[in-house]
Chain A
């Protein structure tokens, strides 16, 4: 059962930041509530105040802006799933959002909430890393931008400062030769392993290869050593290196043995998904 809490309703991002600063650890930002309220109902966490940011309309836009797709942190998974801009420009993200959790979570849960809660078995962070996303955080003093890699610190931990609000996620608009895919596997409610791959392929070879692994370990990770095995190679050469890249990515995933599978098993699945995602990106 939910214990009593006070609901704060700021009208601007600056007000929300000021409330976070004033109430510190006794307050938490409330967006979709799909993770937060469950944890509160279970009694795992308690906050005296929830800062309801749902009415901050400026954080609920999806638009093409200055070479990037700008996604407001309050956009729900359903809004991303059904957005024509996302479907046409970032098909891998569109597919990911179509398959996040279940329809009830997709209706209420927000992308920003998903990222900020940093639950280890969440999907979006992994793909955002591969897509080279930039996170935008605001507080009363101003705005800070940092990469998705810098955003994730550990299980349930991000690099957001205490008074910062994740306001926007910016993804570079892909060029004509850009390809990407995200695949996940699991047999419980949440995925055991997620793998994202992205690269440019203009016929002369692969460039700007990005590989990220999530769900297996405490937080999503970009695996540069695996990227280096594919970067600059022709498609055929890269295919021959996929097994090795998969092994490297599996080892780098920091897979944890748990109910979702043993460490060895997850590392193996990383390799399988990397191969499939690579081929999927071309289809």
Chain B
């Protein structure tokens, strides 16, 4: 499943970039993300992702690795985790782009999400819709947080 999102933020690119690397503030924008911690600054992080569809709950202890980093413009990262209770795995390949746009910043990302295991029994459509909702909420939360701070 691939998702593409872009959100324009009324803040300079440098501030958006700094925000992304401020783990505590950034993680607060990811719906269902808790217990985030830095394993190696700028390279490796850990977090627990909790999501719910009706009565079905998943909890993925997740490792996030930064694979590429181009100052102020691009980050490539990979997140992966497994919920052993329900026998499911998740992998997300994430490309984040920042560009100047009339003094504002366009924050875009492309996420390729793979969900494997029993969770797939819920149906591809339902999972895709949920992932899309989560990414939308995330993009809007980043925008809101940065614009409120300015």
Q: Which residues of A contact B (CB under 8 A)?
A: 28, 39, 42-46, 118, 120, 154-157, 218, 256-260
Q: Are A218 and B126 in contact (CB under 8 A)?
A: yes
B97 to chain A, nearest CB (A): 26
> How far is A259 from B53 in the complex, measured between Cα atoms in Å?
19
Top 4 nearest A-B pairs (CB, nearest first) are: A156-B54, A256-B125, A258-B125, A258-B124
Give the contact stretch, choosing among B2-10, B34-42, B74-82, B115-123: B115-123
Residue of B86, B118, B126 near A120 (CB, 8 A) is: B126
A258 contacts across to B, CB distance below 8 A:
123-126, 128
Residue of A44, A118, A157 near B119 (CB, 8 A) is: A44
B87 contacts across to A, CB distance below 8 A:
43
Q: Is the interface of A mostly helix, strand, loop or mixed?
A: loop
B123 contacts across to A, CB distance below 8 A:
120, 258-259
A156 contacts across to B, CB distance below 8 A:
53-56, 126
> How far is A118 from B56 in the complex, measured between Cα atoms in Å?
12
Can you identify 18 A-B contacts, CB atoms within 8 angstroms? A39-B55, A39-B56, A43-B118, A44-B56, A44-B121, A44-B122, A45-B56, A45-B57, A120-B123, A120-B126, A154-B54, A155-B53, A155-B129, A256-B129, A257-B125, A257-B128, A258-B126, A260-B125
Q: Are A118 and B54 in contact (CB under 8 A)?
A: yes
Contact A155:B121 (CB < 8 A) given known A218-B126, A218-B129: no
> How far is A42 from B118 in the complex, measured between Cα atoms in Å?
7
Q: Are A259 and B124 in contact (CB under 8 A)?
A: yes
Nearest residue (CB) in A for B123 is: A258
> How far is A7 from B63 in the complex, measured between Cα atoms in Å?
38
> How far is A218 from B126 in the complex, measured between Cα atoms in Å?
7
A45 contacts across to B, CB distance below 8 A:
55-57
> How far is A120 from B86 in the complex, measured between Cα atoms in Å?
21
> How far is A118 from B122 in the complex, measured between Cα atoms in Å?
12
Residue of A28, A42, A259 near B55 (CB, 8 A) is: A28
> How far is A257 from B54 in the complex, measured between Cα atoms in Å?
20
A208 to chain B, nearest CB (A): 32
Residue of A39, A44, A46, A155 near B126 (CB, 8 A) is: A155
B86 contacts across to A, CB distance below 8 A:
43-44
> How far is A256 from B86 in the complex, measured between Cα atoms in Å?
24
B126 contacts across to A, CB distance below 8 A:
120, 155-156, 218, 256, 258
B53 contacts across to A, CB distance below 8 A:
155-156
B2 to chain A, nearest CB (A): 13
> How far is A154 from B55 in the complex, measured between Cα atoms in Å?
12
B121 contacts across to A, CB distance below 8 A:
42, 44
A42 contacts across to B, CB distance below 8 A:
118, 121
B54 contacts across to A, CB distance below 8 A:
118, 154-157
Q: Which of B98-144 contact A (CB under 8 A)?
A: 118-119, 121-126, 128-129
A43 contacts across to B, CB distance below 8 A:
85-87, 118
B125 contacts across to A, CB distance below 8 A:
120, 256-258, 260
B55 contacts across to A, CB distance below 8 A:
28, 39, 45, 156
> How far is A65 from B149 in the complex, measured between Cα atoms in Å?
60
> How far is A157 from B128 in the complex, measured between Cα atoms in Å?
17
B56 contacts across to A, CB distance below 8 A:
39, 44-45, 156
A260 contacts across to B, CB distance below 8 A:
125
A151 to chain B, nearest CB (A): 14
Nearest residue (CB) in B for A36 is: B55
